[in-house]
Homo-oligomer: A and B are copies of this chain.
Amino acid sequence: MTTKPNGQTDPKRRIFDAAAALFVNKGYSAIGVREIAKEAGVNIAMINYYFGGKGGILRDILDESYQKYYHAQASAGDDSTPPEERVRKLISNVVAFFRENTEVALIAFNSMLFDVPEIEAIKEKWGKMNFSLMNGLFSQMGVNLSDQVHTSIYNGFLGGMIKNHFQQRYTWENLTDEQKSKITHGEDMIATKFNFDDLFYERFTDLLVNQYFHGVIYATQKDKMKYGPK
């Protein structure tokens, strides 16, 4: 967050942060510029000045999120890195990305929007870059992204798993005490006693690496044996 010398946050960043909090809680479609302006303590003209409208804020949120997510994946290694090591670094980096950027990450992973022209170029750019990046790792593990069954299961698998955890955590942590008190089932699943610290994420990462890497190798081999190479 950019803070001005007098302690006031930059209005552009205030708009960005207010919109992110509203989008993540209620969804992009349910929020209007009026609500964002009120929450950020600015007038609507300022939103138009900085972002050109609601779609422009979403574009900047997605661009920031995709850029960081791409970096998390790219810094896990390349096609010369042993695949299990690369998967471990990848999961560890993506978990760190979600911990540090929960709101923008959840917005990016939940925004399957096809009617916002402002975000088309951003989605295309990062989509292509991610595809090239991950294609190599998938080949190393026997996953063929042009096979419709493989891609239906493995495209988005890891990101989806990690997102699910952070979505549940975020939703739980943002409930009011009254809302929490009404949840009488599943209290062991997202319990208040949960402590999402470094040790939690170390075990979480280990378990996910083993579940994913071992499972992929086994499942793709079995698939090839039963249905032939694709």
Contacts and interface: CB of A to CB of B under 8 A. Distances in A.
Interface of A: 26-27, 29-30, 112, 114-115, 120, 123-124, 127-128, 131, 145-146, 148-153, 155-157, 160-161, 164-165, 167-169, 171, 175, 179, 182, 184-186, 188-189, 191, 193-195, 200, 203-204, 206-208, 210-212, 214-216, 218-220, 222-223, 226-227
Given A27-B30, A156-B164, A149 B203 contact: yes
A156 B179 CA distance: 21
Contact of A127 (B124, B168, B186, B216): B186
B204 A226 contact: no
Given A127-B186, A128-B185, 16 more contacts: A27-B27, A27-B30, A115-B179, A120-B182, A145-B189, A148-B193, A148-B194, A149-B200, A151-B189, A153-B208, A160-B161, A206-B223, A208-B219, A210-B219, A211-B215, A215-B215
The 4 closest A-B pairs by CB, nearest first: A215-B215, A127-B185, A210-B219, A211-B215
A155 B216 CA distance: 20
A218 B222 contact: no
Contacts of A186: 127, 131, 155
Contact of A29 (B27, B157, B194): B27
B114 A179 contact: yes
